[in-house]
C-alpha cells in the first residue's frame, strides 16, 4: 500500500508541478534548453519521458536509498533527516501531553457526571475540538505576546526552534524549552479534547457495568474500582484513536510549524509544493503513508496489551 | 480527507437505525417528525447552535447591505486602518474593507462547506449502500478503493491539485469532495451490511423490486439519521480543511477571499493590526462550534436509543 501510494503521488506530482518555474525568475534569463539541462542532472527535466524519470527515481531509492534532489539541487535525504527530528520533538511531546491530559480529564469528569466541573470541561472541549488549528495557534501567539509585554521580557519565543546565538549546554536546553512551549501548547490544545470526550463517554458506559459493581462489593473504594476495573476496558478504544491520530497530528503540525516558523516536516510539505520540488513532495507523501501504517500497527499492539480477551497466537 | 483532520468523527450507535417501516400513515409520519423536533429543541446547546448559525447565514446574505464597499474595493486613503465609523471593522494592508471581506469570505466558506458536505454525504451513502447490498466482487472492489484512498496522503494531493487550479473555489469543491467521501462510505457500508439481511429488504427483493430501487427506497432511508449527522459534521470538517488549505496558500487564493485567506492576512499582523485576525477567527469559530452543537443535538434527537434527549 505504501509503495503504491508513493508511486501514485510521484506521477501526480510530476503532472501538477513544473520545476521549470524555479528557473524562469532567474536573472539573466535562461533559455529553455539551459533550464532543461540544469534540471536533467536532478532527474527533473520535463524533456525526458515520465516513465524514464520514474524508473531512474525508483531504482535510485531501491538501490542507493536516495530520494532525489530539489530543482535547485538540495538533497531530499538530508532535508528529511534533519526535519524529522524537529517535527518529532514537537509532535511526540504534544501527543503525550494531550493523551495524558485527555484521559485524566475524561476520568475526572466521568466521576462527576452532570456536575459543574463536568459541564464546564465539556463545554470547553466542544469549543477547542472545533476551533480550526489556525485560530487556536494564533490565539496562543497572541496570548504569548501579551504575556511577554506584561513581563517586559521575551519569556517565550513565538518563532523558530532555537536561537542561533546561544551556546553552552544548559543555556541551550533552556532556549530550546522556551521555543518549544508555545507550539506544543497549541498542538495539545487542539487534540486533547477528542480524547477527553471519548474517554468520558466510554468510562460512563463501563462505570455502571456489573464487574465494576462487583469490584465495589468486594470492598474497593469507588475511585479504585473505577481505576482498576472500569478504566482498563474503556482505555482500549482511546488507545486505538491515539495511535490513528499520529498521521493527523503531522498534518496538524503543517499549520503549527508554519505559524511558529519551525523547519519541520509540515513546513517542508508547504515549501516543497510551492517550490515545485517533486521529489520532496513524494518523500513527504511516503512519510505520511508510513506514519499511517505505524499508527495502525501501534493500534493493534495497544489492543493486545490492554485487552485480556485478545491473546496472541502461541501464548 | 475528512479522516485526516483532527476533529469530530461521526460515531453512531450500531443499533440506532429507526426500525419504522417504509409505508406509514401520513399522520404517524408527521408525529414522528414532531417528536424529533421536540427532542432537538430540548437540548439547549443545539438550539444555541441553530440560532448562531442562523445569524451567521443572515450576516453572509444580508451583510453586504450595511456597507458601501465591495470586498474587492480598495481604499488607498486608509491602509491597515483600525475600525472607524467609515470602515466598521477597519481595513487590511491593501485597503480592503474588512467588513465587506468578512461577508464575502463567510459566503465563500459556507458555500464550499455546505456543497462539499452535501456531495460527500450523497456519494458515500450511495456507494456504501450499493457495495453492501450487491456484495461479492463489487463490494471487494469498492472497499479496496476506499481503503486505498484512506492511505493516500489526501491533504497533500488536495494541496497539489488546488494549487495547480489557481485557487478557484469551484475546483476546490470538486477536489475536497473527491478525497472526502471514503471514510463516510466505510461507515455507511458497515451499517448497510446489517440492514441487507433484514426482513423488509428480503421481502422487497422476493417481490421483484429492482436492485437500485431497493438501495434507494429501503437501505438509504433507514440510515437517514446517520446521514443527517454526517452532513453536519462534514460541514465542520470541510470548514476546518478549507481554512487550513487557504491559510497555507493552497486553497482559495487572492483576489478571491475566504475565511482562510483572511486568517492568513491577519496572521502576520496579529499584534499590530489585531482586528484583521479577530474578525475571521471569531466567524470561523462560531461557524464550526455552532455546526458541531447542531450535529450533537440532531444525533441525540434522531437516535431512538438515546436518553439524553429526555423521554419520548
**Residue A233: which pLDDT band, with cuts at 50, 70 and 90?**
confident
Q: Is the pLDDT of residue B296 over 90?
A: no
d(CA A250, CA A187): 10
Mutation site for A-interface testing, chosen from B1, B150, B152 by largest number of A Cβ within 10 Å: B152
Q: Report the gap between the CA of A31 and the closest CA in chain B (Å).
A: 24
Q: Is the pLDDT of residue B96 over 70?
A: yes
Candidates B7, B147, B156; nearest CB to A281 = B156
Residues above pLDDT 70, as percent of chain A: 89
pLDDT for A261-280, tens place per residue? 888 888 888 888 877 788 88
Helices (H), B135-217: 136-151, 154-164, 169-178, 182-195, 199-206, 211-214
Inter-chain touch B163–A259, beta carbons under 8 Å: no
Question: Which residue in A has a C-alpha nearest to residue B161's C-alpha?
Answer: A16
In a domain, B131, yes or no: yes
Question: Which residue in B has a C-alpha nearest to residue A258's C-alpha?
Answer: B248
Inter-chain touch A270–B8, beta carbons under 8 Å: no
Per the prediction, chain A carries an average pLDDT of: 80
Longest alpha-carbon distance in chain A = 85
Residues above pLDDT 90, as percent of chain B: 7
Binding-face residues of A in 110-129 toward B, CB within 8 A: 126-127, 129
Out of A69-78, B56-65, B78-87, which region has the weakest mean confidence (pLDDT)? Answer: B78-87
Q: What angle do CA A210, A213, A214 make, to 5 degrees?
A: 85
pLDDT for B137-183, tens place per residue? 988 998 888 887 777 767 777 777 777 766 678 888 888 888 888 88
pLDDT recorded at residue A22 = 66
**Residue A194: which pLDDT band, with cuts at 50, 70 and 90?**
confident
d(CA A97, CA A101): 6
In a domain, B18, yes or no: no
- Is pLDDT larger for residue B125 or for residue B25? B125
**Residue B27: which pLDDT band, with cuts at 50, 70 and 90?**
very low
Q: Is the pLDDT of residue B46 over 70?
A: yes
In a domain, B16, yes or no: no
Candidates B3, B147, B160; nearest CB to A13 = B160
Write down the residue that cell numbers 498534518 correspond to: A251
Q: Is the pLDDT of residue B227 over 80?
A: yes
**Residue B311: which pLDDT band, with cuts at 50, 70 and 90?**
very low
pLDDT recorded at residue B305 = 57
**Residue B123: which pLDDT band, with cuts at 50, 70 and 90?**
very high
N-to-C CA span, chain A: 30
Question: Which residue in B has a C-alpha nearest to residue A9's C-alpha?
Answer: B157
d(CA B312, CA B36): 9
Q: Is A285 on the interface with B (CB under 8 A)?
A: yes
In a domain, B83, yes or no: no
A75, β-bridge pairs:
A69
- Is pLDDT larger for residue A26 or for residue B12? A26
pLDDT recorded at residue B118 = 93
Q: Is A132 on the interface with B (CB under 8 A)?
A: yes
**Residue A211: which pLDDT band, with cuts at 50, 70 and 90?**
confident
pLDDT recorded at residue B26 = 47
**Residue B6: which pLDDT band, with cuts at 50, 70 and 90?**
very low
pTM of the model: 0.79
Q: Is B248 on the interface with A (CB under 8 A)?
A: yes
ipTM above 0.85, yes or no: no
CATH number assigned to the domain comprising residue B297: 1.10.3720.10
pLDDT for B252-279, tens place per residue? 777 788 888 888 888 877 777 788 888 8
Inter-chain touch B240–A133, beta carbons under 8 Å: yes
d(CA B198, CA A31): 69
Which positions in chain A touch B4 (Cβ < 8 Å)? 247-248, 251
Out of A171-175, A307-311, B82-86, B189-193, which region has the weakest mean confidence (pLDDT)? Answer: A307-311
Inter-chain touch B7–A127, beta carbons under 8 Å: no
Which positions in chain B touch A248 (Cβ < 8 Å)? 3-6
- Give the cell for residue A50: 515520465
Q: Half-sphere exposure (CA, 13 Å, Cβ side) for B229?
A: 24
In a domain, B6, yes or no: no
Q: Is the pLDDT of residue A34 over 90?
A: no
Binding-face residues of A in 177-196 toward B, CB within 8 A: 190-191, 194
In a domain, B2, yes or no: no
* A168, burial (CB in 10 Å: exposed 0-12, middle 13-18, buried 19+): exposed
- Output b/e per residue, A44-61; b: 16+ Cβ within 10 A: bbbeeeeeebbeebeeeb
Inter-chain touch A138–B267, beta carbons under 8 Å: yes
Candidates A1, A16, A138; nearest CB to B270 = A138
Q: Is A7 on the interface with B (CB under 8 A)?
A: no
Candidates A12, A134, A254; nearest CB to B160 = A12
- Is pLDDT larger for residue A122 or for residue B311? A122
d(CA A303, CA A281): 33
Question: Which residue in A has a C-alpha nearest to residue B144's C-alpha?
Answer: A1
Write down the residue that cell numbers 480592503 correspond to: B96
Q: What is the mean pLDDT of residues A53-71?
A: 78
Q: Is the pLDDT of residue B44 over 90?
A: no
User: What 3-state class would DSSP assign to B91?
Assistant: strand
Q: What is the mean pLDDT of residues A143-149?
A: 86
Residues above pLDDT 70, as percent of chain B: 85
In a domain, B197, yes or no: yes
Which positions in chain A touch B157 (Cβ < 8 Å)? 9, 12
pLDDT recorded at residue A204 = 84
State the DSSP code for B86: S
Write down the residue that cell numbers 459566503 correspond to: B107
Which positions in chain A touch B147 (Cβ < 8 Å)? 1
pLDDT recorded at residue B116 = 93
Q: Report the gap between the CA of A78 and the closest CA in chain B (Å).
A: 21
Q: Is A130 on the interface with B (CB under 8 A)?
A: yes
Longest alpha-carbon distance in chain B = 75
Out of A55-69, A168-182, A299-313, B47-61, which region has the weakest mean confidence (pLDDT)? Answer: A299-313
In a domain, B181, yes or no: yes
pLDDT recorded at residue B18 = 46
pLDDT recorded at residue A312 = 55
Q: Is the pLDDT of residue B24 over 60?
A: no
Contact A90, A187 (CB under 8 A): yes
* B136, burial (CB in 10 Å: exposed 0-12, middle 13-18, buried 19+): exposed
Binding-face residues of B in 190-209 toward A, CB within 8 A: none
How many distinct structural domains can be found in chain B?
A: 1
Write down the residue that cell numbers 455507511 correspond to: B188
Residue partners of A174: CB distance under 8 A and separation at least 6: none
Total beta-carbon pairs less than 8 A apart between chain A and chain B: 138
Inter-chain touch B248–A255, beta carbons under 8 Å: yes
d(CA B59, CA B64): 8
How far, in Å, are A48, A278, B205, B254 from residue A282 at the CA level?
A: 19, 6, 48, 27
pLDDT recorded at residue B309 = 40
Task: Give me the domain span that covers residue B164.
Answer: 36-64+98-302
Q: Is the pLDDT of residue B22 over 70?
A: no
pLDDT recorded at residue B117 = 93
d(CA B240, CA B85): 32
Candidates B161, B284, B296; nearest CB to A135 = B284
Inter-chain touch B157–A9, beta carbons under 8 Å: yes
Contact B128, B185 (CB under 8 A): yes
Amino acid at each position: 500500500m505504501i509503495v503504491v501510494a508513493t508511486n501514485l503521488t510521484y506521477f501526480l506530482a510530476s503532472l501538477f508541478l513544473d520545476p521549470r518555474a524555479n528557473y524562469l525568475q532567474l536573472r539573466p534569463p535562461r533559455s529553455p534548453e539551459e533550464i532543461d539541462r540544469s534540471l536533467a542532472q536532478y532527474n527533473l527535466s520535463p524533456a525526458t519521458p515520465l516513465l524514464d524519470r520514474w524508473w531512474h527515481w525508483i531504482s535510485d531509492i531501491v538501490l542507493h536509498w536516495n530520494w532525489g534532489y530539489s530543482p535547485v539541487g538540495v538533497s531530499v535525504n538530508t532535508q528529511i533527516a534533519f526535519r524529522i527530528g524537529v517535527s518529532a520533538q514537537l509532535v511526540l511531546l504534544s501527543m503525550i501531553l494531550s493523551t495524558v491530559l485527555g484521559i485524566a480529564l475524561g476520568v475526572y469528569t466521568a466521576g462527576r457526571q452532570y456536575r459543574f466541573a463536568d459541564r464546564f470541561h465539556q463545554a470547553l472541549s466542544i469549543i477547542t475540538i472545533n476551533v480550526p488549528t489556525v485560530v487556536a495557534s494564533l490565539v496562543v501567539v497572541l496570548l504569548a505576546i501579551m504575556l511577554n509585554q506584561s513581563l517586559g521580557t521575551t519569556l517565550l519565543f513565538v518563532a523558530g526552534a532555537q536561537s542561533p546565538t546561544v551556546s553552552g549546554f544548559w543555556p541551550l536546553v533552556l532556549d530550546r524549552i522556551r521555543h518549544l512551549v508555545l507550539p506544543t501548547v497549541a498542538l495539545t490544545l487542539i487534540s486533547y479534547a477528542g480524547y477527553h470526550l471519548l474517554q468520558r463517554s466510554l468510562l460512563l458506559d463501563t462505570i455502571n457495568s456489573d464487574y465494576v459493581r462487583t469490584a465495589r462489593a468486594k470492598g474497593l473504594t469507588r475511585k479504585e474500582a473505577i481505576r482498576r476495573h472500569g478504566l482498563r476496558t474503556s482505555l482500549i478504544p482511546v488507545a486505538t484513536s491515539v495511535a490513528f491520530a499520529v498521521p493527523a497530528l503531522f498534518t496538524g503540525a503543517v499549520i503549527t510549524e508554519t505559524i511558529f516558523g519551525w523547519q519541520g516536516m509540515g513546513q517542508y510539505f508547504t515549501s516543497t509544493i510551492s517550490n515545485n520540488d517533486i521529489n520532496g513532495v513524494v518523500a513527504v507523501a511516503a512519510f505520511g503513508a508510513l506514519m499511517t501504517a505505524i499508527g495502525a500497527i501501534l493500534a493493534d499492539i495497544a489492543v493486545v496489551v490492554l485487552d485480556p480477551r485478545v491473546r496472541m497466537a502461541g501464548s | 480527507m475528512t479522516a485526516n483532520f483532527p476533529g469530530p468523527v461521526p460515531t453512531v450507535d450500531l443499533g440506532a437505525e429507526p426500525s419504522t417501516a417504509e409505508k406509514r400513515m401520513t399522520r404517524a409520519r408527521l408525529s414522528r417528525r414532531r417528536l424529533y423536533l421536540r427532542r432537538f429543541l430540548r437540548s439547549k446547546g443545539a438550539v444555541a447552535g441553530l440560532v448562531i448559525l442562523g445569524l451567521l447565514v443572515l450576516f453572509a446574505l444580508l451583510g453586504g447591505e450595511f456597507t458601501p464597499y465591495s470586498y474587492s474595493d480598495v481604499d488607498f486613503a486608509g491602509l491597515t486602518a483600525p475600525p472607524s465609523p467609515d470602515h466598521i471593522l477597519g481595513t487590511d494592508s491593501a485597503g480592503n474593507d474588512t467588513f465587506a471581506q468578512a461577508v464575502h469570505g463567510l459566503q465563500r466558506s459556507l458555500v464550499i462547506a455546505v456543497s462539499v458536505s452535501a456531495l460527500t454525504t450523497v456519494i458515500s451513502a450511495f456507494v456504501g449502500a450499493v457495495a453492501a447490498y450487491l456484495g461479492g466482487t463489487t463490494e471487494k472492489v469498492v472497499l479496496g478503493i476506499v481503503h486505498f484512498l484512506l492511505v493516500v496522503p489526501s491533504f497533500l494531493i488536495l494541496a497539489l491539485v488546488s494549487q495547480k487550479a489557481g485557487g478557484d473555489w469551484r475546483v476546490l469543491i470538486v477536489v475536497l469532495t473527491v478525497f472526502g467521501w471514503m471514510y463516510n462510505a466505510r461507515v455507511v457500508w458497515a451499517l448497510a451490511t446489517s440492514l441487507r439481511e433484514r426482513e423488509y429488504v428480503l421481502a422487497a427483493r422476493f417481490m421483484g423490486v429492482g436492485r437500485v430501487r431497493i438501495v434507494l427506497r429501503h437501505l438509504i432511508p433507514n440510515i437517514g439519521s446517520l446521514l443527517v449527522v454526517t452532513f453536519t459534521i462534514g460541514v465542520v470538517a470541510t470548514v476546518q480543511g478549507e481554512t487550513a488549505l487557504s491559510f497555507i496558500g493552497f486553497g482559495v487564493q487572492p483576489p478571491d477571499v475566504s475565511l482562510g485567506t483572511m486568517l492568513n492576512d491577519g496572521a502576520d499582523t496579529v499584534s499590530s493590526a489585531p482586528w484583521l485576525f479577530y474578525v475571521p477567527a471569531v466567524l470561523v469559530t462560531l461557524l464550526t462550534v455552532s455546526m458541531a452543537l447542531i450535529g450533537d443535538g440532531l444525533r441525540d434527537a434522531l437516535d431512538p436509543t438515546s436518553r439524553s434527549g429526555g423521554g419520548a
